[in-house]
Amino acid sequence: MSNNISDSFPQTRNDVNNLKQTATDAAKDLASTASTHLNKARGQAKDLASHAQSEAHDQVGEWQGKVGDLAGAVRDYVVARPLTCLGTALFIGFLFGLSRRGSR
């Protein structure tokens, strides 16, 4: 009988080698799967960022239009009623001055 264990148990040695190969293959498959999912997640994140940017751009454009409309309406009102606007501004300034004077 030989003292070398690998000579005594050749089937066990083959089983260990097969187990090593199976573990190596599983690790490679796991890395490949993780890489695939990572690339998919990156693509989805890019799509989400692009969509959010597009929506933000649309919202900014809409608000700019509303502010422009409001500015136009104010301009039209001031042109149509200049004395009313001047009187209102003077009155508001007077009230503001009174409130500042009273707080001293």
Question: What type of residue is 31?
Answer: A
Residue 1 has pLDDT above 50, yes or no: no
Distance CA 17, CA 12 (A): 9
pLDDT of amino acid 104: 65
pLDDT of amino acid 30: 84
Question: 41-47: long-range contacts (C-beta < 8 A, 24 or more apart)?
Answer: none
pLDDT of amino acid 7: 61
pLDDT digits (tens, 9 = 90+) for 35-89: 888 888 889 999 999 999 999 999 999 999 999 999 999 999 999 999 999 999 9
User: Which whole number is the average pLDDT over 1-20?
Assistant: 70
